[in-house]
Structure 1
């Protein structure tokens, strides 16, 4: 696809052609020349655009869930959103993150391998400061976290795992994420080969007045079992699957055997609080319904039928007269 020029670039190009700085014939020759695009085999693109879009949607939902979770835990303004989704070699991802940062190593069975959630020190320490009763001021001291501070961070980040599970439930419903460890030095982290393609989802985070990035690293080898479920073709084919006759009969039988609550409303009345406090045995409360008027039968809390009260086999019962239509409901 050709590059789209902005209006300022178009104006500059027309100006160069009109002043003679650029020749139209030379432009035609440039267009006719075969275009060669350099391909780096170390950066093999193993995810399609469709799969990238699916991953973006999943983590946009994850970002919303994280915003709610951190807002409740830290009791301060939190805003998290997806900034970018890229695929690159694992080695390049490790080189791009700070030498001292907060790395959460997560396993998510039934997927094999490990995921990485890298928390920028600005954000990580702002969270820690809030947990300890501070104003959420960032202070880069990740290199020498105390055991208490590390334990507080682990507990905070473990609380994000249900959000990760919920965000991925549409793709891998049985995912059971678990935080394995918290690491501060990325050089000790060799989870996959340096040339392995990984997806890096960068989340822009604002905690109070501190801002930074949260990077989620998903290796291709980990996502390989669910990659087919990330395509739009998978979702369309899932929707096209018709329910079989056996499934329909089984579903109908389960619904027909379900228990529902039925209430018979004899009438309504209004009394004052004073009258309520002075009610005694034998007092009579007048209802708003005449004795010859039908009563209302409610199914699941909704009025469905008019009925006549009576007895059957020495037990109180009602006889259905007619169903309630919308007009009858309004008239009543």
Structure 2
């Protein structure tokens, strides 16, 4: 029987969460900190703009920032919703500003002189949509100034959608930086979020912190560790002849004893291939009782080396 003095080592520990290495959803520490400070500034600017626009006490609380896929982000948004689709000029792709419909109706009532209160759960009318767009454009304008520390951004509003699941402007696996907020107008509050393409925002956020000695040291350490780990990983290598095209019918008719002409010139070296990348070239030979390949050109470019390393890491992560 267990002793009364035994200690449960698992008590208080969080449950492990699955992680897909092929779809990374974690921001680097220095990037996350910088983006948190930036969006805290955006939240304060939004509170000021909404207060002056609506003539009411408004607060905007920044909740957090994370990297998520487009499908994960959109699938969790309820319908109906207020999803403003905008172009993050001068960058490509589509970005989003999402506001809870109740916040939109609360803003409309305040703009028209009302005192606010219980709001309907429906799609805005054409007139109400124009009033919501007025608020959205003000918020996007402040987003431009708030993100100036990490990237140049000139939001160009494209449309206001009410059913997020029907918005097909990005691939399901495209990564986005999603910042979440809570907007309070008087006694009423609701969620809001901003989703920007990660390809531009993360890169610019990383560049913005490049002058920090701590950031440079952390990157150098991570790079050295990754290089050492990749150098110790065994990779599969094959010696390849020039590929031969063959019809499907000819391939299906092959039988034991048939001869297949390779078409490889006798004066052309063989390719030493790893992960689909040509790493070296050589000639066929033998060493004792085994076939061998004598390397005649071992030059491998940095791009090819990086391709092999990325392929190795992806394969290891999927195993």
**TM surpasses 0.5:** yes
Equivalent residues of 1:113, 1:221 under 8 A apart: no
Equivalent residues of 1:101, 1:184 under 8 A apart: yes
2:206 matches 1:223:
no
Equivalent of 2:113 in 130, 133, 139: 133
2:105 matches 1:122:
no
Between Structure 1 and Structure 2, whose CA radius of gyration is higher? 1
Distance 1:96 1:104 in 2: 16
- In structure 1, runs of 5+ residues without a counterpart are 1-18, 31-35, 239-332
Distance 2:139 2:193 in 1: 14
Aligned-partner SS, 2:170: coil
Aligned to 1:151: 130
State the TM-score, normalizing by the size of structure 2.
0.59
Aligned-partner SS, 2:90: coil
Structure 1 residue 188: Cα displacement: 1.6
Give the 5 Å matches for 1:198-209: 198-209=176-187
Aligned CA-pair RMSD: 2.8
Structure 1 residue 236: Cα displacement: 5.3
User: Do the aligned partners of residues 96 and 223 (structure 1) sit closer, same or farther apart at CA in structure 2, a change above 3 Å counting?
Assistant: same
Distance 2:136 2:28 in 1: 31
Aligned-partner SS, 2:143: helix
Distance 2:122 2:65 in 1: 26
Distance 1:169 1:235 in 2: 18
Aligned to 1:169: 148
Count how many residue pairs are aligned between Structure 1 and Structure 2. 211
State the TM-score, normalizing by the size of structure 1.
0.57
Which digits, 9 at most, give the CA deviation of each residue in 1:143-201, with x for residues without a partner?
2x2111111111221122321111111222x4222211111110121232212222221
Equivalent residues of 1:111, 1:225 under 8 A apart: no
Equivalent of 1:183 in 161, 166, 170: 161
Aligned to 2:268: none
Aligned to 1:214: 192
Aligned-partner SS, 1:192: coil
Equivalent residues of 1:123, 1:138 under 8 A apart: no
Aligned to 1:195: 173
Structure 1 residue 40: Cα displacement: 2.1
Equivalent residues of 1:199, 1:219 under 8 A apart: yes
Which digits, 9 at most, give the CA deviation of each residue in 1:251-297, with x for residues without a partner?
xxxxxxxxxxxxxxxxxxxxxxxxxxxxxxxxxxxxxxxxxxxxxxx
Structure 1 residue 138: Cα displacement: 4.1
Distance 2:17 2:55 in 1: 50
Aligned-partner SS, 2:113: coil
2:68 matches 1:91:
no
- In structure 2, runs of 5+ residues without a counterpart are 11-15, 216-319
Aligned to 2:93: 113
Aligned-partner SS, 2:148: coil
Equivalent residues of 2:177, 2:201 under 8 A apart: no
Equivalent residues of 2:25, 2:66 under 8 A apart: no
Aligned-partner SS, 2:179: strand
Distance 2:51 2:142 in 1: 13
